Amino acid sequence: MKKNIYILVENAQRELDGRILLGLKLLKKNYNVVIGHKGSLLHIINKFNPGIVFFKSIGPLNTKIIKDLKYKNFKIVTCDEEMLATGKIEEMINYRITKENFMNTDLIFAVGNYDGEAIKRKFNEKDKVKLVGNLRIDTLKKPINNIFNKEVSYLNNKYGNYFLLGTQFGRINAENKNNDFMIDSVFSLMSEGHKADSELVKSYKKMFNYQRENMEKTIEFLIEFSNRIPDKKLIIKPHPNEKSGFWKNLIEKQKINNIFVFEDKKINTNSLILASECVIACNSTILLESSFLNKKCINYIPLKKDENIEKEVLIKSSTTVRNIDTLIQNLKNIENIKNLDDKSNISNFIINYEENNFSSDKIVECLENLELRKYNSHITNLKYNIFLITLSLLAKIKKIIKKTYDFKPKTNQQVLLKKLHNRKIGNLMSPNNFKIKTKLIAKTTGINNFKTREIVPNVFNILEK
């Protein structure tokens, strides 16, 4: 008899590795482990025996499903990694955690003291808030980070030495603005009922203006870089929520030969970091991963300092530069940039930031203390098992038909949904890729006696052989 756990994935490129690592450790603790794309898994979860459902966030969009799951005796846990780097943590909590969802959640996994203490203050509840850290940081540690070796070799062979620019302009260069109802995040919040003078809308206005000014300076930097350091390469890695086409158009119009836009969804961002000479970003969490991997990293903020928007943890983990000339000079003399060794201070924000401290181990320990009925399987009965097999076969037939007849999305909404899926999931959760990724991670942890099985497309069971 085993406990069941259902681990949701929203963005496979950012989240999948850490969730597979957690799943493998839970497998060793005698759990039935199911990992799947959020939409795909929640669509069929009523066919499963009750267990623990691992959410990324418990905002208002999840209220109905959380209430339904609690009614059916599921346990709800969450670890919202977006909390780890924000200017105003209280505003972020108000936006991403509703009181009703908090009450229906069994455990809140905080990344560090920064978000954990703020959540405790907000809801006057200590017992259900546990400090565990960030699963993404776990995958950067030895020996688990060996999973990136093959990709790093590929990048080195293809590009040689390069600088990496991670953009963070999801508000003003948003991928999802081609639909019929969205202009930008500020007006969208107002259409949802938030007042123009509310703290949330005002903070988004500030962020919107901040990103706009910063993007203007980033465009200027790219043009200057191509002119003043023509013998060096720079790779742009757009944020998952951005239009990469903007950056490609910029390079084409400016006739730039030494800057490239990276769009390969199969290559992990951590591999891009490891293969680079230096990482440049603006107020982006990519700097945290870079710092942990002992890479030279520059937080490019060419604007007047604003403590309400700038993220303290990123200031502590990187070299802050506030004008183009200084940035160019730093890149020309890259050997003079010092790696910051401030892991003790960063640990206030990310509790597992030190080498031998694993978030996945803390989460397993917390889950073990949840009272939960045990089952022989995650599947309720034979009837539902047959239903899921049929559902999987129909999905595969549909995919073959679409490919054969070259069906394409017709409406703007269909186009956006396809783009969103490709950006967040792509082909990373195909049966073959999921199996390969799980084997890679298992090899680094000494776990060998397991197999993966697709339940329906984008949803998998990790089980003992």
- Could you tell me how far CA 192 lies from the centroid of its own chain? 25
Q: Which residue has the higher pLDDT, 341 or 83?
A: 83
Residues near 142 by Cβ (< 8 Å), separated by ≥ 6? 355
Architecture of domain 147-167+214-341: 3-Layer(aba) Sandwich (3.40)
DSSP 400-415: HHHHHHT----SHHHH
Please tell me the predicted confidence (pLDDT) of residue 420.
61
Does the pLDDT at position 358 exceed 80?
yes
Q: What is the pLDDT of residues 420-451, one digit of tens each?
A: 666 667 788 999 999 999 999 999 988 888 99
**206: Cβ–Cβ under 8 A, 6 or more apart, which residues?**
306, 308, 309
Q: Report the pLDDT averaged over residues 224-236.
A: 97
Over the range 160-187, which residues count as b (16 or more CB within 10 Å of their CB) and which as e?
A: eebbbbbbbbbbbbbbbeeeeeeeebbe
How much is the pLDDT for 15?
93
182 or 191, which is more confident = 191
pLDDT band of residue 181 (cuts 50, 70, 90) is: low
Q: Place 200 in a pLDDT band, splitting at 50, 70 and 90.
A: confident
Top-ranked range on mean pLDDT: pick from 158-162, 193-197, 293-297: 158-162
pLDDT for the residue numbered 172? 84
Question: What pLDDT band is residue 85 in, cutting at 50, 70 and 90?
Answer: low
Give the other-Cβ count within 10 Å of 226's Cβ: 18
pLDDT of 63 over the 70 cut: yes
Span of 83-87, 312-316, 333-337 with lowest mean pLDDT: 83-87
pLDDT of residue 178: 62
Mean pLDDT of 246-259: 96
pLDDT at 162: 97
Q: β-strand 3-9 against 52-55: which pairing, if any?
A: parallel
Whether the pLDDT of residue 331 is over 70: the answer is yes
pLDDT at 422: 66
Written as one string, the DSSP assignment of 224-291 is HHHHH-TTS-EEEE--TTB-HHHHHHHHHHTT-SSEEE---TTS-HHHHHHH-SEEEESS-THHHHHH
Mean per-residue pLDDT, 303-307: 79
pLDDT of residue 426: 74
More confident residue, 464 or 272: 272
What is the pLDDT, as a whole number, of residue 421? 62
Judged against a pLDDT cut of 70, whether residue 417 lies above it is answered with no
pLDDT band at residue 222, thresholds of 50, 70 and 90?
A: very high
- 240 vs 413, residue with greater confidence: 240
Q: Which is higher by pLDDT, 302 or 35?
A: 35
Q: So what's the pLDDT on residue 390?
A: 85
Q: What is the pLDDT of residue 386?
A: 84
The backbone region for 133, taken as left when phi is positive above 0, alpha when psi lies in -120 to 50, beta otherwise, is left
Q: Does residue 248 carry a pLDDT above 90?
A: yes
Burial class (CB in 10 A: 0-12, 13-18, 19+), 307: exposed
Pick the most confident of 60-69, 185-194, 375-384, 412-421. Answer: 60-69
Give the per-residue pLDDT at 203: 79
Give the pLDDT confidence score for residue 340 in this predicted structure: 67
Taking residues 290-314, what's their average pLDDT?
A: 86
Total-model pTM: 0.89
Average per-residue pLDDT in the chain? 89
CATH of 3-138+354-396+425-464, one of 3.30.310, 3.30.2420, 2.60.40, 3.40.50: 3.40.50
Of the chain, the percentage scoring pLDDT greater than 70 comes to 92
Taking residues 351-375, what's their average pLDDT? 93
Q: Supply the pLDDT for residue 465.
A: 81
Whether the ω angle into residue 240 lies within 30 degrees of 0, i.e. cis, is no
Segment 316-334 shows an average pLDDT of: 92
pLDDT more than 90, % of the chain: 59
In the structure encoding, which two tokens stand for residue 424, read together?
A: 């967040």
pLDDT of residue 443: 92
Q: 246: closest CA among 226, 274, 275, 216?
A: 216
Asked if residue 341 has pLDDT above 80, the reply is: no
- Spatial contact of 237 and 112, defined as CB atoms under 8 Å apart: no
